[in-house]
Chains A and B, each alone.
Chain A
Amino acid sequence: MTRSVGARALVLSLVILGVFLAAWHVAVSGGGAGGQAVDPEYAKLVGAAAATGGQTPMPGPVDVGKAIWKHLSDPFYVRGTNDMGIGIQLAYSLARVLIGFGIAVAVAVPLGFLIGMSPIVYRALDPFIQVMKPISPLAWMPLALYTIKDSSLSSIFVIFICSLWPMLINTAFGVASVRKDWLNVARTLEVGPVRKAFTVILPAAAPTILTGMRISVGIAWLVIVAAEMLVGGTGIGYFVWNQWNNLSLTDIITAILLIGLVGMALDQILARLTRLVTYPE
């Protein structure tokens, strides 16, 4: 084989996907045939759905493929509060994540700088951070709903609070572990504190800070789905829950796939940004 590793890996990926889809198809069609084995008289009496135990059959890959096609061919329609295109729902979720994440960046990076530069502030804030960090962001939701009194703003707050900690900790760590030599260079050149922060500490800590951002945006994207299921209204999380109430499994699977793809895209964007600011030593 003279093909590159990448090409061979791609072939393997496609084989795995094909095997998975085929297994799914076989499993679903086998189950469906078994479920239909009911006395037709009885079925006529109680209705087809009740006769099969009230179960909607698990959709096969073909059904899901059709649903995806349907959604992607018209992603931005609005036909009422409970009937909006999947693109609109994703846009709502993305907007909440980006706003919450953006506010978290604006808070975490300067605060992380302060914590990283001052051992006293670091020690003083450390217990708070250690307690706040492991709290599930959704636990804040009732408190947020009570104080903010707006479900959309509450989800943004939840995104903010869950994005905050990884960035705060990484920024503080990155700033605190800037090489002493580089700080000494700035000192011997009589560089002022502001110029030092922007020309030495920020570039030195940038890869660590961006790694924190990447972790944060990943968590935010995980959390937004759950938050929107909880508060409802709009967003991809709400869409999933709504389709569960409609028992529309094809739509749910479509949404799951799209959530994965968007999450991957967010991660890749930050990975690329991290690579931009990483310096070889």
Chain B
Amino acid sequence: MAASYISIEGIARRFPAPEGGKTTIFEDLWFAMERGEFVCVIGHSGCGKTTVLNILAGLDEPSEGAVIIDGKAIEGPSLDRAVIFQSHGLLPWRTVLGNVAYAVSSKWRDWPKAKVEDHARKAIATVGLSGAEMKKPAQLSGGMKQRVGIARALSIEPKIMLMDEPFSALDALTRGTLQDEVRGICRTTGQTVFMITHDVDEAIYLADKIVLMTNGPDARVAEIVVNPLPADRSRNEVHKHPAYYPVRNHIIDFLVARSKSFATELAQPGKVWNRRAPPLVTPGAAGGPAPLVRAV
């Protein structure tokens, strides 16, 4: 197969089970991402989404298999891959500027302090937090804290952004604004993004591809939904697109029923499914009623 930018090749993650033996969260997991793609992963809790993200970040190691990024297997964390944590992960004893500057000075260790702060201020301005540089995280609202997390991730100019449910702890309005901002920033910088979410609408609004994972243990990538919405989408138009509801229904069908019963689905005669190349599906494409599964 042609080398993708990010290629997850047969990774497995097992944990020691409390009653002896091992629990397999997932095994022989394969999928690929191209440069500049925004990929969302959807699946129920416990399917190992966060574990996959941690492996991509280098914070966790696969029990088997490997992840190849740009031709190289990843070994441990790297400044090329920025993580945006669900719980923002800001250092509470540092100011907003201090938190971002910490990342900047970690990336460019020989930069003088003034240059580091200047660069950090620019990243803070990108997420619209100018004026709050000297505040401590405790003085910020949840949305502002997450903005600082995004600014910190952006400030090191990563090649890949990894986001673990970055907006799940926010109220709906703040979440919407931040989604718009993240989408804008990623589009202008051409970021490759891997994001975990539980929010179907968020996935459809943000993603180019949506990876559907079945329930764990022994979770699989059931299929990858190729988002038929145009790359140039706006929040007020997105739900009026003819493909919006087919995509949404497809994902919700998957989450409600198929994520549980995927093994029986596979057992049906005539079903073709290759775990090394999960089928790409585009609900609502090519006009007419969308087939539920269209293997490619």
Contacts and interface: CB of A to CB of B under 8 A. Distances in A.
Contact of B78 (A181, A190, A203, A277): A190
Given A181-B85, A189-B102, A279 B92 contact: yes
A188 B58 contact: yes
B138 A181 contact: no
Contact of A187 (B77, B102, B103, B107): B77
A191 B79 CA distance: 10
| Interface range for B | 20 to 34
A203 B99 CA distance: 13
A56 interface: no
Nearest to A189: B106
Residue of B58, B91, B93 contacting most chain A CB atoms (<10 Å): B93
A163 B237 CA distance: 68
B136 interface: yes
A67 interface: no
Interface string A254-279: 00000000000000000000000101
Interface in A73-132: none
Nearest to B138: A280
Interface in B113-146: 136, 138
A187 B102 CA distance: 12
B85 A184 contact: yes
Given A181-B85, A182-B89, A203-B93, A188 B59 contact: yes
A281 B88 CA distance: 12
Contacts of A200: 91
Contact of B138 (A182, A199, A281): A281
B93 to A, nearest CB: 4
B91 A203 contact: yes
B92 A188 contact: no
Contacts of B58: 187-188
Given A190-B78, A279-B136, A281-B138, A185 B107 contact: no
Interface of B: 57-59, 76-79, 81-83, 85, 87, 89, 91-93, 102-103, 106-107, 136, 138, 156
